[in-house]
Amino acid sequence: MQNQYSQMNQARFDPSQDDPVAAIKDFLTKILGNTGGGGRGPQGPGGGAPSPKLIYYGSLIALILWGLLTSFYTVDISEEGVVTRFGKYERTTSSGMHYKIPFGVESVTKVQSKRILQEEFGFRTKDVRGAATTYDKSRYTPESLMLTGDLNVADVEWILQFRISDPWKFLFHARDVDRNIRDVSMSIMRRVVGDRLVGDVLTTGRVEIADQAKLLTQEVLDQYDMGIKVEKIILQGVNPPEKVKPAFNEVNAAKQEQEQSINLAEREYNKVIPEARGQAERIVADAEGYAIDIVNRAAGNATQFEEVSKAYKKAPAITKKRLYLDTMEHVFSRIDKFTVVDSQLKGVLPIYALPSLPPTPPTTSGTGNSK
């Protein structure tokens, strides 16, 4: 009996194997193989069968080990564990070590629900070496070629980034979830691109296309209830097909020249029109000021006339004389020189001072003195 127990110690259980059932079978094989030699029995020397007690203890130890190995499991920080009992969903566990009913009663499926997953359309990532990434596009052109709203063809490559929001729905609400996600994304992208002109798709409408495609894709996936949340859609490349690229480049060059001409015209417009508007506003302001000045002067003259009229009615002789003197003062103030002549004097010849003439230079004769 001591020899049998020493043989059992030599056949130790190896828990490092990935499959616990295979580890237990290997353990039992070692036990039974080690106990088969050296005993006496009906098979003769060296061929004795193990005792029933040894088989019982070995089976009991194997059962206990199997129970321990199938009772605990570990979930990584980027995963969630979906526990099923006889195939029926039981619970979802987070990262860490957890317990489950052993012997196959409960089983766990680990789902990477904390990682951002992605699907590529129109290309595949072939190799990543440091900062350099190699893509393969040759076999995936049918995924990216699609019609635009004006019946042109555009080559649209994009990336769909998503994560698993509900592991239970991801596992049990649909089959081949990855294929369903690809089909939905391709259908939505063709729908969104088909509603726009090729110029918008290739130039200014890329951000709007990505946002709308993300919204519509999420709506369809929510209807399928697959436990998927779309994080982002990135348009990796939007180009015309290779056969029409030269013509498209010429059209782009013409559009750039057109925009340049428009920009020059707008710059000249912004330079001339504000200046003209400023001059017009200044002229209008001067005219308005002149009108106000004229009106105010007229109002002042009218008020002055009314005051004079009131004074004339009170003292006509004095007012008349005052007006006469004021008028003469105003008239004479504008004359530099004047002569007063008595109206009864006759035969008077007024002599006015003539303007002085320039002096005449003296003349000299060539033969004699001047006289």
pLDDT at residue 52, rounded to an integer: 80
Query: How far, in Å, CA of 140 to CA of 176, rounded?
Result: 20
Which residues, other chains included, contact 22 with Cβ-Cβ below 8 Å and sequence gap of 6+?
none
Q: Which two tokens stand for residue 32?
A: 């039974």
Residues in the chain: 371
Q: What CA–CA distances, in Å, run from 287 to 53, 188, 273, 280, 283?
A: 126, 65, 21, 11, 6
Which residues, other chains included, contact 135 with Cβ-Cβ below 8 Å and sequence gap of 6+?
123, 124, 125, 126
Which residues, other chains included, contact 352 with Cβ-Cβ below 8 Å and sequence gap of 6+?
339
Burial group, residue 227, by CB count within 10 angstroms (0-12, 13-18, 19+): buried
pLDDT tens, the chain, 371 aa long? 434 434 444 444 444 445 555 665 665 566 555 544 444 444 444 445 667 877 777 788 888 888 777 888 999 999 999 999 998 999 999 999 998 888 888 899 999 999 999 999 999 988 877 777 788 888 888 899 999 999 888 999 999 999 999 999 999 988 899 999 999 999 999 999 999 998 889 888 899 999 999 999 999 999 999 999 999 999 988 888 888 888 888 888 888 899 999 999 999 999 899 989 999 999 999 999 999 999 999 999 899 888 888 888 888 888 888 888 888 888 878 877 766 666 676 665 665 555 555 666 665 544 444 43
Query: How far, in Å, CA of 120 to CA of 135, rounded?
Result: 11
Picking from 91, 253, 82, 245, the residue whose alpha carbon sits closest to that of residue 171 is: 82
Longest dimension (CA), the chain: 195
Token pair 């008239």: residue: 331
Which residues, other chains included, contact 273 with Cβ-Cβ below 8 Å and sequence gap of 6+?
none
Say if residues 109 and 170 touch (Cβ distance below 8 Å). no
Query: How far, in Å, CA of 256 to CA of 147, rounded?
Result: 25
Degrees (nearest 5) of the Cα angle 191, 197, 198? 100
Q: What CA–CA distances, in Å, run from 332 to 141, 326, 339?
A: 105, 10, 12
Rg (C-alpha) for the chain, rounded Å, is 56
Query: How far, in Å, CA of 186 to CA of 121, rounded?
Result: 8
Picking from 207, 121, 109, the residue whose alpha carbon sits closest to that of residue 159 is: 121
Query: How far, in Å, CA of 30 to CA of 60, rounded?
Result: 15
Q: Which two tokens stand for residue 184?
A: 């939905």
pTM value? 0.55
